[in-house]
Amino acid sequence: MGAFNKYLQAEVRQISQRERLSADKAFLFWFAINVLDLSEGDAREAISIEGSNDKGIDIFWVDDDEGRIVIAQGKYSGKLTSQPKISHITKLESSLNWLSNPEALRRDGKADLAQAADDYIEAVKQGYGVELWFVYTGSKCPNIDKHISVYNQNRDNIERRRTFRHYHIDLLQATWEELEGASRRIDSDEIAIVGNNVFPFEGAFGKAMVATVQGSEIVRLHEKYEERLFDRNVRLFLGVRKGSVNAGIAETLRNKSECGNFWAYNNGITIVCDDFSPNGTKVKLTNFSIVNGCQTAVSLAQSKKNNVSDVAVLVRFIAAPAGIVDDIIRYTNSQNPIRTWDIASQDRTQRRLQAGFEKLSKPFIYLTRRGARPKTDLNKYREGSKLRQIRVDIMGQYAAAFRDKPVLAYKHKAFIFSRYHDEVFPPDVRVEEVLFEWICGDVVKEVVQEAMGSKKETELRILKKGGTLFVLAAMSRILSLRNGATYLSNCSESPILGKATLSRIRKYGEYARHMYVQAVMDQNELEKAELATLVRQPDFYNKVIARVERQYEKDARASEWLKEALPPINLKGN
């Protein structure tokens, strides 16, 4: 058994035990985090739609940041030998019919799925693309691949911005290898070029060459290597949201009179490799990957029946040392907008925080973009077997919730790093404050996670809707009421990371969880509306937090209870 197989089986077991999920659900949880790049909280919600099993939906997620709707079905086998059937695919396709009719779902007693259908309809109105993902732990099935290929070639699906993704065990392994830093680019191949008009160039980075390649040749590469072709790309295909760059590409390819202008309209494709050698009408490449142009390549592959034989595309081949490949990737990826937190590394406050976390006596890796770990020895960041590291997108959610903006954190993560950045990360915020917010967020995540394994159905329904973020907001309010509005002034690293503080924070987290759940139940009883709709509304949160405050004030009258249940927090150093 290979290393990846052992890893995946162990991960599924560990997630199953930790999250109290079946093996199938645990696999979907892993997939949502590692392939779809969701946070744990988002992944937990995405896999937890009630009543969805018989509709072909295992994962449902509206990705506002990328303008896409993700609907997935997964098949997990403990021996990693899943054998999918065409019926699985057709059921996933038919899920769109159910999502187009929320009232039918409500009549069928599937309230959660009906709310997902409302979200689906609204997102489609806004021009979001639809991505259907079929993922399974078995070898690639040719019949499934053929069926999906036909679906993606269907003109109606192209025009309605619907794409189907086929994710089998080989692609799961490729994803794992990339995350582990062990990914392999394509060993070698030859790419046909148009004529012998090539333009070589050499510089401090190494050597490069510019050539023209037929669209059909890009399609051949994609069909042969699938997503391995984009091993070093910062993102895979983003779908064809209305008005997006990809929608423009698709429209040009469909237009017989325009497709001949594709070379002039398109920014081209960039391929990095260890070496290249032109030989007549072909270029031999070793250890190569497309690092910019994934959107172009996949659009060509999906439109292979739409004039791609008449299409030519500009291709740059760059043979550069590994040390600057990441910079080539970053600077060449500008045709499609990257997520707002991807550019946080350039913000003055974020750069200061990154440096501050590095200078702590127990330094943390502050990840402002994925894969940006320090190139030095990581041992100084280890706490036992784990790395002390903070992802900036999750930190933004924690910080927003801690600063009384849980609705923003839950539904509008992208805005945290744009219009609300200075409110969530004030220019004068101290790294110790941000560290405390992170520790509180992590503790609350554990507290909520434990409750999610209970058999209390009402509590489960409440907490799976952004529970970590809303409980964190409630906890922040209680911390302030109990310890005074200025309790974070002059806080220092040592007490924040001390065992005594962590133990006390956990008590606040458990109390906040109980208070939040009870307050939501009471307020929901008054408003008589679907919970998934209510938690998105700032007015509902304000009513809930007001209930939490009133209950705390009643409880705090019992001074002996208060000392034990919510002991004071002292974060000042000696």
Sorted by sequence, the CB contacts under 8 Å of residue 130 that are 6+ apart come out as 68, 69, 71, 96, 124, 160, 161, 162, 163, 239
Show the CA angle centred on residue 76, arms to residues 71 and 78, nearest 5°: 165
CATH 3.30.70 given to domain 3-176: no
Phi and psi at 183, nearest 5°, equal: -70, 150
Give the distance from CA 218 to its chain's centroid.
28
Give the distance from CA 206 to its chain's centroid.
34
The SS3 call for residue 379 is helix
Looking at residue 341, its pLDDT comes to 62
Looking at residue 307, its pLDDT comes to 57
Q: What is the DSSP string of 63-91?
A: ETTTTEEEEEEEE--TTS-----HHHHHH
Measure Cα distances from 353 to 220, 376, 395 in Å.
46, 19, 11
Give the distance from CA 13 to its chain's centroid.
22
Give which of 23, 64, 29, 14 is closest to 410, Cα–Cα.
Answer: 64
Residue 236 clears pLDDT 50, i.e. is over it = no
Rg (Cα) of the chain, in Å, rounded?
Answer: 25
Lowest mean pLDDT among 9-13, 289-293, 552-556: 289-293
b vs e for 327-360, b when ≥16 Cβ sit within 10 Å of the residue's Cβ? ebbbebbeeeeebbbbebbebebbebbbebbeeb
Lowest mean pLDDT among 12-16, 205-209, 240-244: 240-244
Looking at residue 454, its pLDDT comes to 67
Burial class (CB in 10 A: 0-12, 13-18, 19+), 58: buried
User: Domain extents for the chain?
Assistant: 3-176, 184-333, 341-565
3-state secondary structure 21-51: CCHHHHHHHHHHHHCCCCCHHHHHHHCCCCC
Give the distance from CA 134 to its chain's centroid.
17
The SS3 call for residue 231 is coil
pLDDT band at 37 (very low <50, low <70, confident <90, very high): confident
Residue ranges in 237-374 assigned as alpha helix (H): 245-254, 262-265, 294-302, 322-332, 348-359
Lowest mean pLDDT among 62-76, 149-163, 509-523: 149-163
pLDDT band at 414 (very low <50, low <70, confident <90, very high): confident
Question: Is-contact 132 162, C-beta < 8 A?
Answer: yes
Question: Is-contact 312 194, C-beta < 8 A?
Answer: yes
> Percent of the chain at pLDDT above 90?
38
pLDDT band at 308 (very low <50, low <70, confident <90, very high): low
Strand 282-292 versus strand 365-367 pairing type: unpaired
Report the helix count and the strand count for the chain, using DSSP H and E.
Answer: 27, 15
Instruction: Say what the pTM is.
Output: 0.57
pLDDT band at 27 (very low <50, low <70, confident <90, very high): very high
Looking at residue 352, its pLDDT comes to 84
Show the CA angle centred on residue 76, arms to residues 70 and 82, nearest 5°: 110
Q: CA 422, CA 408: separation in Å to the nearest integer?
A: 14
What value does the mean pLDDT of the chain take? 83
Looking at residue 238, its pLDDT comes to 39
Measure Cα distances from 22 to 7, 15, 104, 453, 503 in Å.
18, 9, 28, 11, 30
Tokens of 157: 């699906």
Question: Is-contact 82 75, C-beta < 8 A?
Answer: yes
Give which of 396, 345, 349 is closest to 367, Cα–Cα.
Answer: 345
Question: Is-contact 569 487, C-beta < 8 A?
Answer: yes
Looking at residue 182, its pLDDT comes to 45
Looking at residue 348, its pLDDT comes to 73
CB count in 10 Å sphere of residue 172: 22
Instruction: Tell me the one-letter amino acid at 423.
Output: E
What average pLDDT does range 134-149 have in this prediction? 90
Q: CA 411, CA 306: separation in Å to the nearest integer?
A: 38
Q: CA 73, CA 57: separation in Å to the nearest integer?
A: 6
Looking at residue 256, its pLDDT comes to 65
Token pair 């392939």 is found at 35
